[in-house]
Amino acid sequence: MVMALPAYTDLARDILSHRLVVEGYPAKAITDGDIKGYLSRLSEVTQMIGLLEPVAPRSDQHGRAGWIHWETSGAHFYTWEQPLLLFSVDVYTCKQFDPKTVVDFTKTSLQTTKMTAKDFSSFSPTLKVVNQPVFKYTLSDAEQAAPIARLLAGQPPRTILALVLYQFSGPDELSNLGRHTEREACEEMFGNDDTWMTKLYGAYDSFCTFFIVIGQTLKRPVDLLRATRNSPTGLMTLNNAKARLGISDDGFKKYYGVGDLSRVWDINTLAIPRKYRSLAHLIDILLYRGTHQPAHLVAATHYVAIDHAAPGGMFKTLRFPFAPLLGDTRTLSREGSKESREMCGLAVDFFSAVIRHEREADEMARPI
C-alpha cells in the first residue's frame, strides 16, 4: 500500500528559504579532499560565512558524504561509486545566492560529464532578498574600533600574546578591516588609493580569504594576507601571466603537473603598514600558520603570487619558497612597482618551511 502524502504547503512565505540541488556524473571518483575543497570554495562562491571547516566522513558500504555549516544554514555533499559514479549537492540557505554561479562552479570544479540541477527557492516576491556585500578600502577609526571590539568579545583569543590572527571570507563585513590595511600599506608604498584598489581587486573580492592580524591592545588590524582560490573569475596571477607570458591555464597545469586549479592558492597581497613593521618578526609566524593550515585542509598543491619587489623580495622576507613563474625572471610594472614578477611555489615546500621557521622563532613568538 502506498500512502499518499498531503499536498505541500509553504508555511512561511515571508522567510527566505533558498535551496538548490545539483547532481551529476564526475569524470573520476571523488575523494574526501575533493569534497572538503569543494565545500570550502562553495562558501566563497555563494558568499556565505563558514562557522566550521567542512567535514567528509566515509561509509565503507555507502560511500562518502560531506557537510559545511554556514552562518546562514549550510550544504551537504553525497557521492556514489557503485553502481556508477554520481554526486549530489544540496545547498540550503536563508540567504539568497546565484544558482547559476553554483552550477557553473560545480561543473568546473568536479569536471562533470553530465549534470542536472533544480532550484527549490521559496520566498515571497515582496520579500527583500538582495544582500550584496559592501567592499570598503578606507575605514574611519570608529569603523575599525567597533567591529574589532565585537570580534574580540565574541571570538576571544586563546592566547595572551599581543597579536592574534583571524580568517574571514571576502564577502564578510569584517574582511574590510583587511582591505583598509591593504590600501594603507599600498598607498604608502605605491600611492594606490581606493579607486585603484577597487579596480585591481574588484573582480576577485568575493572569492578571497583574508588572514588579518589584530593587535589585542592596539585594537587595530596591523597586517593582512589576501589569498584567492580558483573561481569563475580565475586566478589573478595566472590571468596576468596569460597576457604577459602567453601561458594558458592548461599550459600552467602541464608545466607544473597540476591536476586541478582548485588546488592552487593565489597569494594576492601581503601588507604591513609602515607604523607596524617593527612587529614583522612576530607577524610572519602568525601568517605562516594561519595561511598554511586551511590550505593544507583543502589539499592545496601550489601557490602562485605576483611579488612587487626584487626576486622573491616580499616573500623572501617571510622565507616563502617561491621561484619565478616558468623560470622567467623579467620584471613588469604593476601596482606602482617596476620590479614585479609572477611567482610559483610547491605547497609541500611551504609546509616544511613553516615547521623550520617556527623552530627558529623565539618561544614567545610562537602562536598557540
Closest Cα partner for 38 from 127, 95, 86, 107? 107
| The predicted structure's pLDDT at residue 314 | 54
Q: What is the mean pLDDT of the chain?
A: 80
The more confident residue out of 266 and 334 is 266
pLDDT surpassing 60 at residue 368: no
CATH class of residue range 141-365: alpha beta
Instruction: Identify residue 52 by its one-letter amino acid code.
Output: L
The more confident residue out of 278 and 147 is 147
Q: Does domain 18-119 have CATH number 3.40.50.2000?
A: no
For residues 151-190, b (16+ Cβ closer than 10 Å) or e, as one string? beeeeebeeeeebbbbbbbbbbebbbbbbbbbbbbbbebe
Helices (H), the chain: 32-45, 99-110, 141-154, 176-190, 194-201, 236-245, 249-256, 280-297, 313-317, 347-360
C-alpha–C-alpha distance, residues 139 and 194, integer Å: 11
Over residues 185-198, the pLDDT tens digits come to 889 888 889 999 99
- Angle in degrees, CA 204, 235, 255, rounded to 5: 175
Which grid cell is 99? 544558482
Over residues 263-276, the pLDDT tens digits come to 888 988 888 888 88
| The predicted structure's pLDDT at residue 127 | 41
Residue 212 to residues 65, 99, 240, 327, Cα–Cα distance (Å): 32, 30, 25, 31
Among the listed ranges 28-32, 308-312, 315-319, which one has the minimum average pLDDT value? Answer: 308-312
DSSP 339-365: EEEEEEEEHHHHHHHHHHHHHHS-GGG
pLDDT bracket for residue 175 (50, 70, 90): very high
Closest Cα partner for 301 from 326, 266, 264? 264
Specify which residues 151 forms β-bridges with: none
Which grid cell is 196? 585603484
pLDDT bracket for residue 5 (50, 70, 90): low
| Element housing 69 (H / E) | strand 63-70
Mean pLDDT value across residues 157-184:
86
| The predicted structure's pLDDT at residue 124 | 47
| The predicted structure's pLDDT at residue 355 | 62
Mean pLDDT value across residues 342-352:
79
Instruction: Identify residue 224 by its one-letter amino acid code.
Output: L
Over residues 232-266, the pLDDT tens digits come to 788 999 998 988 888 999 999 999 998 888 888 89
Over residues 198-225, the pLDDT tens digits come to 998 988 888 888 989 998 888 899 988 8
| The predicted structure's pLDDT at residue 28 | 86
| The predicted structure's pLDDT at residue 316 | 58
pLDDT surpassing 50 at residue 163: yes
| The predicted structure's pLDDT at residue 297 | 63
Q: Are 134 and 55 in contact (CB under 8 A)?
A: no
pLDDT surpassing 50 at residue 22: yes
pTM exceeding the 0.75 threshold for the entire prediction: no
Instruction: Identify residue 193 by its one-letter amino acid code.
Output: D
Instruction: Identify residue 73 by its one-letter amino acid code.
Output: S
| The predicted structure's pLDDT at residue 126 | 46
Which position has the grid cell 549530489? 88
Sheet holding 73-80, edge to edge: 58-59, 63-70, 73-80, 86-93, 18-26, 112-119
Q: Strand pairing of 73-80 and 86-93?
A: antiparallel
Percent of the residues in the chain that have a pLDDT greater than 70, as a whole number: 78
Specify which residues 114 forms β-bridges with: 25
C-alpha–C-alpha distance, residues 174 and 167, integer Å: 9
| The predicted structure's pLDDT at residue 189 | 83
At residue 124, what are phi and psi to the nearest 5 degrees? -65, 140
**Residue ranges covered by each domain of the chain:** 18-119, 141-365
